[in-house]
Structure 1
Amino acid sequence: MSAHTATADRPLTVLLGPETYPPDVNGAAQFAHRLARGLHEQGHRVHIVCARPGPGPSSVADDDGVVEHRLRSHRAFTHPYFRLCFPWQVAGEIRRVLDEVRPDVVHVQCHYIIGRLLVREAGRRGIRTVGTNHFVPENLEPFLPFPAWVLNRYRAVSWRDMVRVFGACDVVTAPTPLAVDDMRRNGFPDTVLAVSNGIRIADYEAHDGERRQPAGHPTVLFAGRLAVEKNVDVLIEAFSMLPAELDARLELVGDGEQRPALEKLARALGVAQRVRFLGYVPDEDLRAAYLRADVFCQPGTAELQSLVTLEAMAASRPVVLADARALPHLADDGVNGWLFTPGDAQDLARKLALVLGAPTAERRRMGRESRRKVAQHSFPRTLETFLRLYRGEHAEPARARAAGPRRIRTRLASLVR
């Protein structure tokens, strides 16, 4: 526990340590930003320690009540936007922030440089530490220009490193039960907790009395980064196999390094006129895209939760998802959508056709099932759970840390019922 007393009747000072944060566009960054805003709205004092999004010295800025400590960083040459903080440049800054802010709890969200430095320094100061893992080695492998045997070695070393860094936290969470199982298979103890990233469900629902603007054609929607691990090429190939009589359209919201190759693929398959690359869009435009779509598709195979899928489900859309990682628990075949064999464009085309070819009443029923299923992922529930973790409810008292990193030892399953 922190040197401060984290009682339920006073605001907390929370220091969040995400490795990626807006303006980065990804699920982990979105979760960290939503958590920061939610804590601030409830009256807690929130500080963020994250990488500066561009060149320049470390800086401090106030983002509408949330204090951002942006650390000096450098572009990762293998990734389109990820920034690296060198430990010898930022370790002193992290020590200074901890000494000045004196947080009740430090919540790290990756085992890389910022996370490991915060965990180490928080431990030295007796500050309660919560760790959330959004990462699997496969997330970075497409950006590493190495042969398979090197990547296999990297994967094994990376998992061991994660276990070591997060092993010094009081509590460790991951977004889904499947992500937790994956962590346990790779060396984490069975005390890791599943706590959904959560979404503000009402942000994606149709408003009272709102009439959905029809798309004019049966429409498949994908939202997310156009990155290798998202397998959008499989979706475009499957789309090209749909029966001509459906006269379907495909909308792709998001951008990324794969966009030129995907545009070329759409032209090569003769569907370029029916595939719309919308790029990054404002939140309200994304909401409109969810509401006008007939089915949402997520073909990615490295999803630890997939916030965009949850958002589409909140908008009462049927879903067709890859049967991989954390996606299977979001779709029940024939109930709110279908799962397809990862990488199999023919199977994906069959499953999309099942939804697009169904009567309107059937699609609406599936959409209602999606909305019912997503209720367990409401952000207020997530926020309440993390606040209880921050305060150490039902947790064993922290032991002295002088003996080195402590085991993850807190079983708090009751918190995430």
Structure 2
Amino acid sequence: MAQFDRPLRVLIATDTYPPDVNGAGYFTHRLAEGLARRGHRVHVVCPSERGEPYVTVNGEVTEHRMPSAPIPFQPSMRAALPLGLGGHLARIVQRMDPDVVHAQSHFPVSRAALRKGRAAGIPVVLTNHFMPDNLYAHARVPAPMREAAGTLAWRDMIRVAGEADYVTTPTPRAARLLREKGFARTVEDISCGIDLERFRPRAGDRAAARRRFGLPDRDTIVFVGRLDEEKRIVDTIRALARIVPERDAQLALAGTGQREEELRALAAELGVADRVFFLGFVPDEDLPLVYAAGDAFAIAGVAELQSIATLEAMSTGLPVVAADAMALPHLVEEGRNGFLFPPGDDARLADRLLTVLGPERDRLAMGAASREIALRHDHRRSLERFEDTYRRLRGAPPVPLWVERAVAERAVAV
């Protein structure tokens, strides 16, 4: 069998993976499973969710769980312990002899895999899901220190990315951000992709979905994601409080996070506690029903490099009201499938939500447009593009590491 026809051996390195609940972890899981279903041999290296190391075969994917410890202030997540990590990765690379190493960040597991792959002469792809804004609250970085911390974090990320053979990121805006931060080489935007069959219009399931989650039968705004500071859910609750005098509406929040008690208190303070429903952690198999229960999707966060949840809502046929920030404008065609609003402007958010919750005919038309736009993000197409990238790199001579480091150092200097 020719080199480019045979199944690939892919080693994916990630610092977050299910049962972690976040977009990067879910994307990596779907990537691994999708590649395995297409006949490739896929191994994943990630932190152990229970502390001690172990190896397991999960479906068609082999998982190498590295020794880990709880992340301070984040009891639901763990980080790999650095002691012995490089040796673990070197042995996995030697035994598996992958065609490509695909690192999902610049954090310890991904960084170690990148360097062991390069040392073995194996091409390395790095996909960036990183935004400092997503770390500030988790690491309890005081507001006055965030700008300096963000600068240092970006500098470290750009330096590590410079060691990879090829860099991707989910959206054109995210690619542009890397260049703005000093990355001097090509960055390819490859959508994280979504399963268009799982997340599809389910108008006939709305009543059942609302009963499933204990939601009254009224206009329903949904949000899926972490209940953390950078998601700015306070803006959505404030917008709901502005809406209810004019419209019988409610907000359903699917997810958990550090700010849940604060959000409950805010809803009570604004007199909408009986209209804000905290659904908690929703298992992946039930997630499509959350969107089916809704009439519109609202997202107020400003640190989204793509927002898989927004894409899932769109694929389900929901109009979207989103903050005009980062990659969200790539998903919203103003007036066609929803609206953008200035970040932090809950009055404008409320106004836009009233518009999309207006006449049913208009709402359905915007939902249909959302579905049409979401079709561009078929996860099968994303898998094909990553396969093409892997095969192309495997067929190309490796670039000397000293050249990559020199490029990265110049990028940081600029």
Q: Same fold (TM over 0.5)?
A: yes
1:250 corresponding residue in structure 2: 251
The 5 Å alignment of 1:21-60 reads: 21-56=17-52, 58-60=53-55
**Counterparts of 2:288 and 2:315 in 1: how far apart (Å)?**
10
Secondary structure, counterpart of 2:84 in structure 1:
helix
2:268 corresponding residue in structure 1: 267
Secondary structure, counterpart of 1:219 in structure 2:
strand
1:377 corresponding residue in structure 2: 377
1:67 and 2:62 are equivalent in the alignment: yes
2:168 corresponding residue in structure 1: 173
1:15 and 2:11 are equivalent in the alignment: yes
State the identity %: 43
- 1:239-294 per-residue CA deviation (whole Å, 9 max, x = no partner) reads 01104241111111111111111111111111111111111123343212212311
Cα offset, 1:27, TM superposition: 0.5
Secondary structure, counterpart of 1:82 in structure 2:
strand
Secondary structure, counterpart of 2:356 in structure 1:
helix
**Counterparts of 2:61 and 2:379 in 1: how far apart (Å)?**
18
Given that 1:6 and 1:12 are in contact with CA atoms closer than 8 Å, whether structure 2 keeps it comes out as no
1:312 corresponding residue in structure 2: 313
Give TM-score, length-normalised by structure 2: 0.92
1:203 and 2:198 are equivalent in the alignment: yes
- Cα pair distance change 1:64/1:349, threshold 3 Å: same
Which shifted more, 273-282 or 124-133? 273-282
**Counterparts of 1:118 and 1:284 in 2: how far apart (Å)?**
31
1:365 and 2:362 are equivalent in the alignment: no
Amino acid of the structure 1 residue aligned with 2:124: T
**Counterparts of 1:270 and 1:403 in 2: how far apart (Å)?**
60
- Alignment root-mean-square deviation, CA: 2.0
Which shifted more, 221-230 or 76-85? 76-85
1:281 and 2:282 are equivalent in the alignment: yes
1:95 corresponding residue in structure 2: 90
User: 5+ unaligned residues in a row in structure 1: which ranges?
Assistant: 409-417
Secondary structure, counterpart of 1:143 in structure 2:
coil
- 1:74-114 per-residue CA deviation (whole Å, 9 max, x = no partner) reads 11113243322232231111111111111110000100111
* Alignment coverage as a number of residue pairs: 401
- Cα pair distance change 1:383/1:146, threshold 3 Å: closer
Cα offset, 1:19, TM superposition: 1.2
User: 5+ unaligned residues in a row in structure 2: which ranges?
Assistant: 211-216, 409-414
- 1:217-256 per-residue CA deviation (whole Å, 9 max, x = no partner) reads 1111111111111111111111011042411111111111
Cα offset, 1:157, TM superposition: 1.5
- Cα pair distance change 1:272/1:148, threshold 3 Å: closer
- Cα pair distance change 1:82/1:406, threshold 3 Å: farther
Cα offset, 1:148, TM superposition: 4.0
**Counterparts of 1:281 and 1:320 in 2: how far apart (Å)?**
22
1:414 corresponding residue in structure 2: none
2:207 corresponding residue in structure 1: 213
Given that 1:234 and 1:345 are in contact with CA atoms closer than 8 Å, whether structure 2 keeps it comes out as yes
1:399 corresponding residue in structure 2: 399
- Cα pair distance change 1:6/1:126, threshold 3 Å: farther
Secondary structure, counterpart of 2:10 in structure 1:
strand
- 1:324-354 per-residue CA deviation (whole Å, 9 max, x = no partner) reads 1111111122110011111111111111111
Given that 1:80 and 1:257 are in contact with CA atoms closer than 8 Å, whether structure 2 keeps it comes out as no
1:411 corresponding residue in structure 2: none
Given that 2:296 and 2:356 are in contact with CA atoms closer than 8 Å, whether structure 1 keeps it comes out as yes
The 5 Å alignment of 1:133-152 reads: 133-152=128-147
Given that 1:168 and 1:406 are in contact with CA atoms closer than 8 Å, whether structure 2 keeps it comes out as no
Secondary structure, counterpart of 1:14 in structure 2:
strand
Amino acid of the structure 2 residue aligned with 1:253: A
Given that 1:126 and 1:401 are in contact with CA atoms closer than 8 Å, whether structure 2 keeps it comes out as no
Give TM-score, length-normalised by structure 1: 0.92
